[in-house]
Amino acid sequence: MIINHPILGPRDSAEFTYMGDSALLDRPDWKATDALAQFIDYGYLRDNPAGPHQELWYHEQGDRSFLVVTRDTTTHEISSVKLARDVARSRGRST
């Protein structure tokens, strides 16, 4: 698989470490009253869809950036690659 890195261009997926569903960007608020339930969900339950999946890839053998890759789990086709930083910011997770 080739991942089209937004900064570095097309890179071999073997340079990356897969980090799972990009929902992991949305760490629950530890101060919420139902924080425990939310963290169990966050830590252990997954959508695991057959079809488009937004997932985190870490460019460990490259520039060390985290990417959010949208990839079809039934064909391995990649339809979009973004910097995780930008995605997190657009969700108000980071400044």
Partner 1 sequence: MRYSGLRVIKEALTGHKGWKHAWRDVEPQVQYDYIVIGGGGHGLATAYYLARNHGAKKIAVLEKGWVGGGNIGRNTTIVRSNYLLDGNEPFYEHSLKLWEGLEQDINYNAMISQRGILNLVHSDAQRDAFVRRGNAMILNGADADLLSTETIQKRYPFLNVNNARFPIKGGLAQHRGGTVRHDAVAWGYARAADQLGVDIIQNCEVTGFRIESGKCLGVETSRGYIAGGKVASCVAGSSGRLMAKANMRLPIESHVLQAFVSEGLKPVLPGVITFGAGHFYCSQSDKGGLVFGGDLDGYNSYAQRGNLPVVEDVCEGAMAIFPMLGRVRLLRMWGGIMDMSMDGSPIIDHTHIKNLYFNGGWCYGGFKATPASGWCYAHLLATDTPHEFAKAYRFDRFEKGQMIDEKGMGNNPQLH
**Alpha-carbon distances, residue 53 vs 62, 75, 88 (angstroms):** 23, 11, 17
Question: Which residue lies nearer to partner 1 by CB, 6 or 49?
Answer: 49
* Residues at the interface with partner 1 (CB under 8 A): 1, 12-14, 18, 20-21, 40-41, 43-50, 53, 55, 71, 73-76
Buried b (16+ CB within 10 A) or exposed e, 65-76: bbbbbebeeeee
Question: Which residue lies nearer to partner 1 by CB, 73 or 90?
Answer: 73
Q: What's the closest the beta carbon of residue 19 comes to partner 1, in angstroms?
A: 9
Consecutive H or E run containing 29: none
Residue 58 φ then ψ, to 5°? -105, 125
Other CB atoms within 10 Å distance of the CB of residue 84: 21
Q: What's the closest the beta carbon of residue 95 comes to partner 1, in angstroms?
A: 28
Q: What's the closest the beta carbon of residue 36 comes to partner 1, in angstroms?
A: 8
Question: Which residue lies nearer to partner 1 by CB, 75 or 95?
Answer: 75
